[in-house]
């Protein structure tokens, strides 16, 4: 089975839990503060490794304690870290995540060394192409780097899953290079003129995105499930009902599950369903990488679900 390469971000997540999110100018009490390894790229790499595939992380950390912790954490999760380089000038990326009692979150990120990803990381990734088909990208590294590696990977016949998070117009050329694009209901606004508020508006946005690029749109709607294009059809995959504790890792978990199923040869509907199962399980735990489920958990979970 081919390896999966995740080219993207590594951040240390500082998570503040609270009853509700503050309004502008307000100071409120948090209930606790925790530190977790994160970054959309690293989260997805851990998710893929826990699902049983060979996962390669390509990215950059700083020469600091956060960077060392992230490197060691990924290695302990059986992620191949040979593609992670160390930047001597920039600090490791850091994200501050505010989570309310419903599990909803707001994130502020300082990307630091992630924004120095460039030719070194691209060259390493291209060298891995003979053993890999699937490449995963996000928007937490420079747009020019993402576009360059995506173009070269595509020319070599590889497939690409692009998670356009956070929303960035600079990354829009990827719509015509990548095979799949997986925005959530907020990020989709950077790809279409449709404001997504429900399943029907998501279907409209899907068709609009499909008309302007070659990437297959897969829109993540949280508790409403996923809307995606399969050929000329727009399909809604309902969400699995679970007791939600923390949604911070849900999108990355979906992408890890979707990529895993796709890499194993499953068709698009089955891959989306598998991704939804992985995403649902991730919301039942706190943290990002620590919330990623293992393969056995996902298979047991999906066996009991009919949707």
Q: Per the structure, how many domains does the chain have?
A: 1
Percent of the residues in the chain that have a pLDDT greater than 90, as a whole number: 89
pLDDT value of position 288:
86
Per the structure, the complete domain to which residue 53 belongs is given by 3-20+29-304
pTM, full prediction: 0.93
What digits encode the pLDDT tens for the residues 193-238?
999 999 999 999 999 999 999 999 999 999 999 999 999 999 999 9
What integer pLDDT is reported at residue 248 of this predicted model?
83
What is the structure's pLDDT at 307? 64
Question: Is 2 a residue of the active site?
Answer: no
Identify the band that residue 11 occupies on the pLDDT scale cut at 50, 70 and 90. Answer: very high
> Between the CA of residue 237 and those of 213, 215, 227, 252, 272, what are the distances in Å?
22, 19, 6, 17, 8
In this prediction, residue 1 carries a pLDDT of: 62
Q: What is the CATH number of the domain that holds 151?
A: 3.40.1190.20
pLDDT, tens digit, for every residue of 51-63?
Answer: 999 999 999 999 9
Give the confidence band of 2 by pLDDT, cuts at 50, 70, 90.
confident
Q: What share of the chain has pLDDT > 70, as a percent?
A: 99
Give the pLDDT confidence of 243-277 residue by residue, as tens digits.
998 888 899 999 999 999 999 999 999 999 999 99
Non-local CB neighbours of 295 within 8 Å, separated by 6+ positions: 50, 51, 52
Model confidence over 86-115: pLDDT tens digits?
999 999 999 998 989 988 888 898 999 999
pLDDT value of residue 167 = 87
Cβ-contact 8, 42 below 8 angstroms = yes
Candidate list 80, 133, 246, 252, residue with the active-site label: 252
Give whole-number Cα distances, 206 to 124, 174, 287, in Å: 34, 16, 30
**How do strand 80-87 and strand 55-62 relate by DSSP bridges?**
parallel
């Amino acid at each position: 089975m081919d390896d999966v390469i995740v080219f993207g971000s590594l951040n240390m997540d500082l998570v503040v839990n609270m009853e509700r999110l503050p309004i502008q100018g307000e100071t409120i009490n948090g209930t606790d503060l925790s530190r977790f390894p994160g970054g959309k790229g690293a989260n997805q790499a851990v998710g893929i490794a826990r699902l049983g595939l060979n996962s390669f992380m390509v990215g950059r950390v700083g020469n600091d304690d956060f960077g060392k912790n992230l490197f060691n954490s990924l290695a302990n999760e059986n992620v191949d870290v040979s593609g992670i380089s160390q930047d001597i000038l920039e600090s490791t990326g850091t994200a501050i995540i505010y989570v309310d009692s419903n599990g909803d979150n707001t994130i502020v990120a300082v990307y630091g060394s992630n924004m120095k990803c460039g030719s070194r990381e691209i060259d390493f990734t291209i060298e891995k192409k003979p053993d890999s088909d699937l490449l995963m990208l996000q928007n937490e590294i420079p747009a020019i780097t993402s576009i360059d590696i995506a173009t070269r990977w595509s020319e070599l016949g590889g497939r690409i899953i692009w998670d356009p998070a956070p929303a960035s117009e600079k990354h829009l050329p990827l719509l015509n290079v990548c095979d799949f694009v997986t925005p959530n209901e907020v990020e989709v606004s950077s790809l279409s003129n449709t404001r997504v508020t429900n399943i029907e508006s998501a279907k409209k946005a899907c068709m609009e995105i499909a008309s302007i690029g070659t990437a297959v749109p897969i829109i993540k709607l949280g508790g409403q499930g996923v809307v995606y294009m399969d050929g000329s059809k727009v399909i809604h995959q309902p969400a699995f009902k679970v007791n939600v504790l923390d949604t911070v890792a849900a999108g990355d978990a979906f992408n890890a599950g979707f990529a895993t199923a796709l890499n194993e040869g499953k068709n698009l509907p089955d891959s989306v369903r598998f991704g939804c199962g992985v995403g649902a399980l991730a919301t039942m735990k706190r943290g990002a990488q620590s919330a990623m489920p293992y393969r056995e958990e996902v298979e047991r979970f999906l066996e009991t679900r009919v949707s």
